[in-house]
Copies of this chain bind each other. A is one copy, B any other.
Amino acid sequence: MSMDRLLENIMRKQNPTVAGLDPKLSYIPEHIKARCFAEHGKTLEGAAAALLAFNKGLIDSLWDVVPAVKPQAAYYEMYGWQGMRALSETIAYAKSKGLFVITDGKRNDIGATMEAYAAAHLGQTDVEGESFEAFGADALTVNGYLGTDGIDPLLSVCAGRDKGIFVLAKTSNPSAGEFQDQMLHAMYEPLYRAMGNMCQQWGLKLPGRYGYSGVGAVVGATYPKQLKELRKALPNTIFLVPGYGAQGGAAKDVAQGFDRHGAGAIVNSSRAILCAWQKEGCDPEDYAGAARREAVRMRNEIMAELGGISLPV
């Protein structure tokens, strides 16, 4: 089970955090950009080459500290197919270093179309009997608004190929509540909770060795009360927790998402890691060192809250 691999990575490294790879051009040091633009011109190709080089440097520096990376698809898509190639190569490189890769795509659709997304990001694509991994992540974030018809096609791919999904439940943004906090008349609970309950239910098809299924949920660090409530209500659902740091979630907030073993959640940080060199004001050549220092700082801050991480057996 894919989430088992994630949990094992987390325990081995005693670090329940994931480095978000959301590489904006403005985060990338000049020496990398200059080299890539010299080779490819100021083009989408040049930009994509810069993203990939930046990511590889980060991965080389982070692979033994963090258990996972989370590339955000949007930042690659905006550079066209050239950017999508950089996404694919980033994922392959991260996996070659033993990192668990969560593609943050928030994909959603139904039936055969959702099967196509599942093939794209978690499965294989068949071309006349030959099989190819298009993007090949270990897990994918998805949006469950369309209901079970949008989730079932993923579950069969996950089961067959040891992959997982994270379904948006309570997102970290200020307007998340517009829909997600609406109380549902029939269920006497808010929409995010109903979505969380469905994660538990969908997860029954993908049971895991450590009590956590292959269907996780996204729950924002900016809503610690709901994080605590959902942790209690959804004992078999691992949480991907955005919103730590820049968005306002503190270590004591994210601690609400963990179980008594210090397991059950993974906390994302993107900008604070990617832009650490700018904040530190260090030599841009040392951007990856700065990223590592921030990743270690974040790990230490969260681990101080948790004490340690063990896996329930």
Residues of A within 8 A of B (CB): 22, 24-25, 33, 37, 42-44, 46-47, 72, 74-75, 77-85, 87-88, 106-114, 116-117, 119-121, 125, 127-130, 132, 134-135, 143-150, 168, 171-180, 182-187, 191, 194-195, 198
Contacts and interface: CB of A to CB of B under 8 A. Distances in A.
Contact of A168 (B84, B107, B146): B146
Contacts of A24: 112
23 contacts: A25-B128, A42-B127, A43-B130, A47-B125, A74-B107, A77-B117, A77-B134, A77-B135, A80-B120, A80-B135, A110-B173, A111-B173, A144-B179, A145-B145, A145-B180, A146-B171, A147-B173, A147-B176, A147-B180, A149-B176, A150-B175, A179-B191, A182-B187
A36 to B, nearest CB: 10
Contacts of A88: 80-81
Contacts of A72: 109, 113, 116
User: Which of A81, A107, A113 has the most chain B CB atoms inside 10 A of its CB?
Assistant: A81
A60 B105 CA distance: 33
Contacts of A37: 128
Given A120-B74, A145-B168, A132 B178 contact: no
A116 B108 CA distance: 18
Contact of A74 (B83, B113, B186): B113
Given A72-B113, A110-B173, 6 more contacts: A25-B127, A47-B125, A145-B171, A146-B176, A150-B173, A183-B186
Contacts of A198: 178
B42 A117 contact: no
